[in-house]
Amino acid sequence: MLLMVGCSEAEEPQSQRADPDAASAVVQTVQEAQAPPPQEAPEVPEAQGPQEAEEAPAAAEAQPAPAAQEPAPASPSAADNPKPLADDVSLPLPCAGEMVFRHVYILARGALDDKEISLGQPFSEGEPGYQQSFISGYRRDYINGQFLLEDLPSDWQERIGPGLPKGRDDALLKPMLYFVGKYEVTERQYQLVMAQAAALAGEGEAPSCDQPPAGMPARRPKVNLSRFEAERFAAVYSAWLLKHHRERLPISGRGDNPEDGGVGFVRLPTEVEWEFAARGGHAVSRQELEGRLFPRKEEGSDGDGPLADWAVYTQVAGGTGQGARLLPVGMRKANPLGLYDVIGNAAEMVHDPFQMVHAGRRQGTYGGFVVKGGNYLEGELTLFTGMRREYPLFTAQGSEQRNETTGFRVALGALSAPRSRYQALFEQWQREGRLAGLTDEIADADDPTQLLDSIIADSQDPDLQARLALVNEELKRNVSLIARQRQEAAANLIQSAALVAETVSNYNIRLTNLQNSLTKARKAKDQAAVQLYQSAIANGRTALDGAVTIYIDNLATGTRYSDAVVQAQLQRTREELNRNPVLGKSLVKRATLFVRHVGEYREQRKADPAAILKELLGP
């Protein structure tokens, strides 16, 4: 991140013994959860790191906070979901509460596929944060979801299904989903879950629900807890759900026999899951996904709205006298995915140990735990979606690390490779790295990597087999890299061709207008205007013919990619183009026509420019 590394914000020694293995065994977890909760320390400002001190004056330019606050929700459901949306999904909490989730999807060929994404921030020299690029700098990573739509409970399918991409039944790409908490876990939710620990461990009855925590303080994010306590919460909540509401959990690879699938459980989100969702995930364009902050659209405005409407952070401009403080969840606007407080308010722990950034990737050293999103003590100019901190798991006194500005939200996990998916995963693994996947010119039976597999299997020399196997795996790895690059190139080609087709249409409209003007000039016997329009029409026809030629050249280029690659990238391109409110519908239509033309060119090895032009100008 931009700020402190490996240091605490408001350390307070605690007597509770740390247990790194707490989350691995539910019984041990719930027993330990009965220990007295840590005594809260008074709220104190963070110690400034070098970068914070450098940027403190700039933070004074922050926008003033909205003055109005919402009334406290009147019911447990309203307390847990103060800003309900039609496609929210939820799991039960004790005492009639609920934990609300938002879905994120990735179009993929299956569970073994993934999407390459950009994380962090590509700092420029001299830009604030540049000297800490090894913490929050630009890097590439990969993401996929764990659940198909049919893996979800039926009511979740009804809520989420209408908003997913509509593909044919034989579509190569399917939405793979994962789920992240809509809000940060609140004080109320934390107490309700952890109160079940003793009963789950077989030590007494579950507590009464006569007087559950209520009011605005109960809606604040749970802070002043350690990474181990966040994991213990996830373990206790998972155990409670599995015991009382197992039927409400999604099952990865549900199939015909749910017992062979992976039953869902609650955990912290991974850093990649958290940041992809915080940036806007599937709800934003690729360009917006890589922005410093998620898009903050306001009705009637082309620009982003003030960050203060979306995030809780320190605001000292204008002499308002308002001190920095933690606010209840959902008091600001949501990001494009419907997640609240991903920037500011409480910073959030994630599942992964910290790794530095090196050469555009995560470096191989593992350190403390990662905290994302910034907190209410930050200034505006220090906040960005990719910011991150490293914290130690323990204080210098040996107690578990806690502070007043860090909380967490939860995600849903499941087995990535449940038994019910074994066959599909193996078949997909076999197809990876095959040269036949790059082009239709190579049949499966003639694929050199397939032939090399046969040679290795037939060899009687164990040493030769081992060496050839290494060569074969390296070959497949490089073919997979090339395949990913070709998929990207095919997607770019489809988008470019759609834009060329749009240009052809625009040229034709201009020629029609020029022809009408020429007719009027002739009727008026304005010879100078006639010559001017004739020249413009000649130039326009040349430009139109040139655009059609480029379009046909793109058809020839499209045949260099396999039909499977072209069809899959058309799905992804539709998804991207549909986000364009002005040209999206038209460009999707033109991209679809281009892919059909590629298929026809693949069969005929030629294209008729006049016929192509007629279709491009058709309704």
**What is the percent of the chain where pLDDT is above 70?**
85
Do 378 and 400 have their domain in common? yes
| pTM score of the predicted model | 0.81
- Is 107 within 8 Å of 571 (Cβ atoms)? yes
Token code pair at residue 545: 């013919």
Do 125 and 261 have their domain in common? yes
Do 450 and 541 have their domain in common? no
State residue 322's pLDDT score: 57
Core vs surface per residue 362-372: b (16+ CB within 10 A) or e: beeeebbbbbb
- 3-state SS, residue 577: helix
CA 492, CA 532: separation in Å to the nearest integer? 38
State residue 10's pLDDT score: 36
Which CATH number do you get for residue 332? 3.90.1580.10
Residue 578 sits at the vertex; the CA angle it makes with 572 and 584, to the nearest 5 degrees, is 120
The mean pLDDT value for 56-75 works out to 38
- Is 95 within 8 Å of 209 (Cβ atoms)? yes
Do 236 and 379 have their domain in common? yes
At residue 178 the predicted structure's pLDDT band, cuts being 50, 70 and 90, is very high
**Residue 529, Cβ density class (10 Å: 0-12 exposed, 13-18 middle, ≥19 buried):** middle
Domain assignment present for residue 13? The answer is no
State residue 52's pLDDT score: 35
- Is 85 within 8 Å of 338 (Cβ atoms)? yes
The one-letter amino acid code at 554 reads: N
State residue 151's pLDDT score: 95
pLDDT digits (tens, 9 = 90+) for 315-335: 765 334 456 789 999 999 999
**Residue 377, Cβ density class (10 Å: 0-12 exposed, 13-18 middle, ≥19 buried):** buried
Region of poorest pLDDT, from 67-71, 84-88, 292-296, 476-480: 67-71
Give the β-pairing of 347-353 and 406-407. Answer: parallel
- Minimal CA–CA distance to 99: which of 209, 1, 245? 245
Do 385 and 471 have their domain in common? no
Domain assignment present for residue 103? The answer is yes
At residue 125 the predicted structure's pLDDT band, cuts being 50, 70 and 90, is confident
Region of poorest pLDDT, from 167-171, 198-202, 216-220, 562-566: 167-171
Token code pair at residue 370: 């990662």
Do 572 and 458 have their domain in common? no
Which residues form the domain of 593?
482-616
The one-letter amino acid code at 430 reads: Q
Do 360 and 211 have their domain in common? yes
Domain assignment present for residue 239? The answer is yes
State residue 458's pLDDT score: 87
State residue 168's pLDDT score: 64
Region of poorest pLDDT, from 177-191, 242-256, 385-399, 425-439: 425-439
- Is 261 within 8 Å of 255 (Cβ atoms)? yes
State residue 320's pLDDT score: 42
State residue 76's pLDDT score: 59
Do 461 and 559 have their domain in common? no
Q: Which residue has the higher pLDDT, 323 or 473?
A: 473
State residue 56's pLDDT score: 34
At residue 212 the predicted structure's pLDDT band, cuts being 50, 70 and 90, is low
CA 509, CA 516: separation in Å to the nearest integer? 11
Domain assignment present for residue 253? The answer is yes
Domain assignment present for residue 491? The answer is yes
Do 369 and 466 have their domain in common? no
Domain assignment present for residue 510? The answer is yes
CA 246, CA 92: separation in Å to the nearest integer? 10
pLDDT above 60 (res 36): no
Do 438 and 548 have their domain in common? no
E strands within 196-311? Answer: 251-252, 262-263, 265-267
CA 125, CA 110: separation in Å to the nearest integer? 40
Phi–psi pair at 125, nearest 5 degrees = -60, 130
State residue 213's pLDDT score: 64
Per the prediction, the chain carries an average pLDDT of 84
pLDDT above 80 (res 470): yes
Do 30 and 162 have their domain in common? yes
pLDDT above 50 (res 25): no
pLDDT above 50 (res 17): no
Do 231 and 269 have their domain in common? yes
pLDDT above 90 (res 284): yes
Domain assignment present for residue 543? The answer is yes
E strands within 357-431? Answer: 357-358, 361-362, 369-372, 388-391, 406-407, 411-413
CA 209, CA 485: separation in Å to the nearest integer? 56
Number of folded domains that form the chain:
3
